Amino acid sequence: MGEFELIRNFFAAAPCAQGGEGVALGIGDDCALLDVPFGEQLAISTDTLVAGVHFADPCDPFLLGQRSLAVAASDLAAMGATPVAFTLALTLPTFDAEWLQTYARGLNLMAQTCGLRLIGGDTTRGPLCLTLTVFGRVPTGHALTRSGARPGDLLCVGGELGNAAGALPLVLGQRTAASMIGEPLLAHYWSPQPQLALGQALRGKATSALDISDGLLADCGHIAAASKVGLAIELDRVPVSLALEEFLGEAGAQQAALSGGDDYVLAFTLPEVEVPTLLADGWPIHVIGRVVEGQGVTLLDDEGLDITPAVHGYQHFRA
Amino acid sequence: MGEFELIRNFFAAAPCAQGGEGVALGIGDDCALLDVPFGEQLAISTDTLVAGVHFADPCDPFLLGQRSLAVAASDLAAMGATPVAFTLALTLPTFDAEWLQTYARGLNLMAQTCGLRLIGGDTTRGPLCLTLTVFGRVPTGHALTRSGARPGDLLCVGGELGNAAGALPLVLGQRTAASMIGEPLLAHYWSPQPQLALGQALRGKATSALDISDGLLADCGHIAAASKVGLAIELDRVPVSLALEEFLGEAGAQQAALSGGDDYVLAFTLPEVEVPTLLADGWPIHVIGRVVEGQGVTLLDDEGLDITPAVHGYQHFRA
């Protein structure tokens, strides 16, 4: 069986893999072809997951399938894009039909949840590694970027933070937890829900946005740098789950929420006047701070004192 | 230095990395944004190169930079697409500034040659592996696919075949050759020239096309299958270079041309009436056979006898 058949057979259940809205040509030719409606732009993001670095090896291929696509789709959410399609570059040490089938089931489930169609990719032999490239549509000029935050805007996040970081010791088998605590944390880690609908709802409202993947402080630093502003975060307003507080204690939960990675929750800035409508519409947004003149991210305690830690976030390489 | 800075610094010399024709937003946000003009579609292809599988490890990072992009861009040529942009997912075992700089120089040179702009990607730690996704524009409905070959069409290739396969023993250090022979073969291997202009010239003329990456016979099999036709190839008409014949002998050169991979030369079908104009315009096309009723690829000797070998081409996995 060649790599063409391999991809086709195991991923054939993907929603509309052979064509669908915006997909003019799917898997099987030298290129896929996308239609982009007049007045819209194509948003593109690429994410790589490496075994032993981004996920434990071995791990459950179904969960990996879900997670690998969710992580990539979250970048579309951060731009306010409507999901269209994705490609999958899969490097595998051996041909393992059961592994592929199970991975494809997880991937297809997340593809369906997100409204993403598999349109192509590559299958190669080598150390386990996955690169997914996702495509979305966004009205021209209305994508949410990192660079538009203005002093006076509020800083918000789209949900509780730190759950995935809290789950890490469970994923790695370093700790155990009662299922009431462990299950919701593990669900956040293995099956993050890209906030695609929230991203689209923020078009024309948010002045900047991104998805938190490297930790709140580090990622807010990207907004501050791109927008040439400062961000002041009030520690007490950073939302954490009860499960996380149970598991790590209050200080540990705060630490996970500030610097743990893998949240895939949106962080965004917007004028104060937009907040009541979004809350009234039921969006799960939490105001955690404010955009200020200056630069960088400042963390404040409940008395307004600066308690910014020295180093935040996870980086793959340090020079 | 974070991964953002890393990508920016080493690939900053890429032509128009921060925007250009069709690129509304380049590196540095959650997604890149592409404009697709009304009446055009976006062509997308993804290729992965794994160290030790697709290239020797270690190898010259400059040559790898050239080759990694050329291989991907060749798929745009095969669709008749005009190159626009690409993303790079780079997995590296260690942060090696010199390696990155040299790789980026090779990549940027090929990007300039092809007219491709780097718009994003991911940098991760792990076994050396590269995934490039390329984007091109093509007038809606005019992409060259594999599925339109009709009995009576001629089968052509865009140049000499087998040079890259011939170079492999040189690349792997298994053989040596005089520079008159070795240099042209190695140039084909390390710096294949995607036939982008030829692909665009074939729009509206070719009934099917692809780029030969897995060997002439194997790839022609893809056209035959997608078009539901047979292809008859005359062995004597398959073009090989003098250097390859010198190096491998006539039979060896033919074998490399038929079943060696990595040519990245176009194979395509078209009505006989189109050939004289293309030749008069100076396109380096060679008629090597004909589309026939039936299925699969048949290889004919100079007396028209069937000499088709049993197995062709390279596959990463066999089931």
Q: Is residue A313 part of a domain?
A: no
Residue A33 with chain B: CB contacts under 8 Å? 41-44, 79, 138, 143
Q: Is residue A7 part of a domain?
A: yes
**A164 shares a domain with A87:** no
Q: Is residue B313 part of a domain?
A: no
Q: How far apart are CA B112 and CA B20, in angstroms?
A: 12
Contact A35 B140 (CB under 8 A): yes
**A135 shares a domain with A161:** no
pLDDT of residue B315: 52
CB B149 within 8 A of CB B156: no
User: What is the rounded end-to-end Cα distance, in angstroms, of chain A?
Assistant: 44
Instruction: Give the rounded percent of residues in chain B with a pLDDT score beyond 70.
Output: 91
**A293 shares a domain with A269:** yes
Sequential pLDDT tens for chain A (319 residues): 455 566 667 776 655 444 457 899 988 899 999 999 999 999 999 999 999 988 888 889 999 999 999 999 999 999 999 999 999 999 999 988 899 999 999 999 999 999 999 999 999 999 999 999 999 999 999 999 999 999 999 999 999 999 999 999 999 899 999 999 999 999 999 989 999 999 999 999 999 999 999 999 999 999 999 999 999 999 999 999 999 999 999 999 999 999 998 999 999 999 999 999 999 999 999 999 999 999 999 999 999 999 998 655 555 554 3
Q: Is residue B210 part of a domain?
A: yes
pLDDT of residue B19: 45
A70: domain CATH number is: 3.30.1330.10
Residue A202 with chain B: CB contacts under 8 Å? none
**A247 shares a domain with A220:** yes
ipTM of the complex: 0.89
pLDDT of residue B18: 43
Q: How far apart are CA A319 and CA B206, in angstroms?
A: 51
**B109 shares a domain with B17:** yes
pLDDT of residue B21: 78
**B158 shares a domain with B131:** no
Count of domains observed in chain B: 2
Contact A53 B126 (CB under 8 A): yes
Q: Is residue A308 part of a domain?
A: no
Question: Would the CA dihedral through B96, B32, A25, B136 be positive or negative?
Answer: negative
Q: Is residue B309 part of a domain?
A: no
Chains A–B, number of C-beta pairs less than 8 Å apart: 233
**A126 shares a domain with A160:** no
The answer for A 220-279 residues in CB contact with B (under 8 A) is 222, 226
pLDDT of residue A312: 54
Q: Is residue B144 part of a domain?
A: no
**A27 shares a domain with A88:** yes
pLDDT of residue A18: 43
**B189 shares a domain with B224:** yes
Look at phi and psi of residue B208 and say left if phi exceeds 0, alpha if psi is from -120 to 50, else beta.
beta
CB A31 within 8 A of CB B79: yes
**B171 shares a domain with B113:** no
- Residue A133 domain boundaries: 3-139
**B225 shares a domain with B188:** yes
pLDDT of residue A118: 94
B225: domain CATH number is: 3.90.650.10
Q: How far apart are CA B132 and CA B94, in angstroms?
A: 20
Residue in A with minimal Cα distance to B264: A30
A98 touches chain B (CB under 8 A): no
pLDDT of residue A14: 59
pLDDT tens profile B138-177: 999 999 999 999 999 999 999 999 999 999 999 989 999 9
Q: Pairing mode, if any, of strands B286-292 and B32-35? A: unpaired
Q: Which residues of chain B have pLDDT under 70?
A: 1-8, 12-20, 310-319
**A172 shares a domain with A288:** yes
Q: How far apart are CA B299 and CA B306, in angstroms?
A: 6
pLDDT of residue B4: 52
Q: Is residue A220 part of a domain?
A: yes
Structure-token pair, residue B141 = 């409905």
